[in-house]
Structure 1
């Protein structure tokens, strides 16, 4: 493989690798550093000896993250520079087994209750569907040992699950229904009067304040969307939307207090959306 072809192949993996590392480390800067270290190691490697580039890079990034996490144990003053990118999971009973939705916005805080090996096993398997055999290779353990680590981490994470999750989901579903039907008053009923909406697009971050302004903007967006469905976004009830041609338009996470949405965090930046790995749409949720 030529140097140019190798660089191109690596760039195809970069978004996924950064997502993995940021889930592990909780810091975009540290994640990018870990991925850059993987590139440096790849550049020193005979690429023709690598049978599975994606797996090889995941292994390297995983080991770099483990080293960073272990070093943090001796430097507790280290802090995180920003929250992880939004994580989207289907809002369905089948996804409950993953338990990834229970980590919520405080994902980094929750994962800090796990040891480095538990954290890696949970993140790679439950969030990125990496096999236990591959995780075992990263950790220098058997597949069964990796499975036990993930299971132990899952039990710890389960304890963080909010008790009022079903009620919060119902609020978002009513909000989504009002948006689909163009029911402005219905939207206002679901929004706190002082609701804040932080939206990240390709042009930067925009903050909208107040129920009326947010409801007006939501109505416009609903008309543009071809398909919308509820989802669990960073552990919170949220919404994913696609265009009529199947293009992912945006992801929205909602913070709910006393039955009303008090904060919305959304992403429409194509680069950020691509890193989330949301590739399918559910026709049952079409307008």
Structure 2
């Protein structure tokens, strides 16, 4: 049984709620794209449950999913989300695990679609589209139940989900499995370290976006030629330890004293790197829950 939230007293109702916590947190995170917001939503769901007559609830799991969905929708509509910008302006919220280490239970449960690519796609959806897509296509919640959250009929909700699904499918998707994506990243790192410009161009998408978070702010470079030039200049600084970052290939490196030096996260689609996020700001790195040096 998951450990109860510190703010929640012990008791049968708590045990029942805790049995659903991981799933509720996964729902909220998929909808909102922020671990912090997901935790807030789940805690609010507990507070609402604690004020209810639990004995009158026939399906606790369904009731809690509906409540989490409604709270998440309110957060999206009000613009109160913290869309991956908790640590710095535009800095994504990363879940990082070393490749040789077992992945955190939450990362396994959320699966590949936790990746930055899908979160970006979901951000392009309207709040009702995003909620309908996540609840139905990811968590198999019936359209009729989603409709009660959105105030729509089951048929209208089904059309909403279909529209959201088309938008998600139209977005670039990672090609191949983790091994193929990792090979593309390895090729990039090797070419960058050896200054092989043509090889860099081969593995970079023409419109690749390279975002670097530094102590001086966030800097973005777009285009394979420009990114290849910067990567070739960086050279050996790309060496580090292979990691999985939000379900996608990444690299983490440390200083000799064990403090993190940099974190790289890659998005790979159709055999090419479409986006690279680099964090080299010591203050931002210090706030992340990063693995210790190996």
Q: TM-score range by the shorter chain?
A: 0.5 to 0.7
Q: 1:158: Cα distance to partner?
A: 1.8
**RMSD over aligned Cα, in angstroms?**
4.3
Would you say 1:192 and 2:189 are equivalent positions?
yes
- List runs of 5+ in structure 2 lacking aligned partners: 1-8, 87-91, 96-106, 194-236, 251-264, 277-294
Partner of 1:55: 62
Partner of 2:136: 125
Partner of 2:13: 6
Assess if the C-alpha contact under 8 Å between 1:172 and 1:237 holds in 2.
no
Partner of 1:31: 38
Write out aligned runs for 1:268-287 (5 A).
Answer: none
- Give me the whole-angstrom Cα distance separating, in 2, the residues matched to 1:188 and 1:139: 41
**1:191-239 deviation per Cα after TM superposition (whole angstroms, max 9, x unaligned):** 73379xxxxxxxxxxxxx867x758xx9xxxxxxxxxxxxxx968589x
Would you say 1:116 and 2:121 are equivalent positions?
no
- Give me the whole-angstrom Cα distance separating, in 2, the residues matched to 1:160 and 1:84: 22
Would you say 1:88 and 2:95 are equivalent positions?
no
Deviates more, 1:52-61 or 1:2-11: 2-11
Assess if the C-alpha contact under 8 Å between 2:41 and 2:72 holds in 1.
yes
- Give me the whole-angstrom Cα distance separating, in 2, the residues matched to 1:192 and 1:150: 39
Would you say 1:40 and 2:47 are equivalent positions?
yes
- Give me the whole-angstrom Cα distance separating, in 2, the residues matched to 1:84 and 1:136: 32
- Provide TM-score, normalisation by structure 2: 0.53
Aligned partner of 2:152 among 126, 138, 141: 141
- Give me the whole-angstrom Cα distance separating, in 2, the residues matched to 1:140 and 1:17: 21
Partner of 1:184: none
- Provide TM-score, normalisation by structure 1: 0.54
The change in CA–CA distance for 1:88 and 1:174 in structure 2 (over 3 A counts) is closer
Assess if the C-alpha contact under 8 Å between 1:171 and 1:259 holds in 2.
no
Count of matched residue positions in the alignment of Structure 1 and Structure 2: 194
SS state of the match for residue 161, structure 1? coil
Q: 1:80: Cα distance to partner?
A: 3.7
Write out aligned runs for 1:57-72 (5 A).
Answer: 57-72=64-79
- List runs of 5+ in structure 1 lacking aligned partners: 90-100, 177-186, 196-208, 219-232, 239-252, 264-287
Aligned partner of 1:161 among 160, 172, 176: 172
- Give me the whole-angstrom Cα distance separating, in 2, the residues matched to 1:32 and 1:114: 22
- Give me the whole-angstrom Cα distance separating, in 1, the residues matched to 2:111 and 2:140: 14
Partner of 1:105: 116
Aligned partner of 1:18 among 21, 25, 35: 25
Q: 1:159: Cα distance to partner?
A: 2.1
The change in CA–CA distance for 1:47 and 1:138 in structure 2 (over 3 A counts) is same
SS state of the match for residue 116, structure 2? coil
- Give me the whole-angstrom Cα distance separating, in 1, the residues matched to 2:156 and 2:246: 28
The change in CA–CA distance for 1:80 and 1:55 in structure 2 (over 3 A counts) is farther
